[in-house]
Structure 1
Amino acid sequence: MPDTKYDSEKPVPKPDSEKDHDRDEALEDSFPASDPPSKGETTGPDE
């Protein structure tokens, strides 16, 4: 079964895991290590 989803002539998009990794690194820069964000989502004040 040929894989027509990815064409060798087109750029292959990054897997979601790599996108999340880049996003997490950016968040780590803006959050203290003692209080890391959970999956990049904001929680309520009650947490």
Structure 2
Amino acid sequence: MARKDVPPRWDRKMQQRLARGEAAALGELYDRFASLVHSLAHRVLSDE
């Protein structure tokens, strides 16, 4: 059973890659969350 205060493996790896300055990691982060962030911003701001 995973502890709640421990981030999932993907999150830990991504944090390490971003800390090292890997440009590809930033691209992967964008690809994974851009749609979610855009949807949330649209809902909150009611504006494209």
If the TM-score is normalised by the length of the shorter chain, which range does it land in?
0.3 to 0.5
TM-score, normalised by the number of residues in structure 1: 0.35
TM-score (norm 2): 0.34
Question: Which is greater in Rg?
Answer: 1
> Comparing both structures, which one devotes a greater share of its residues to helix?
2
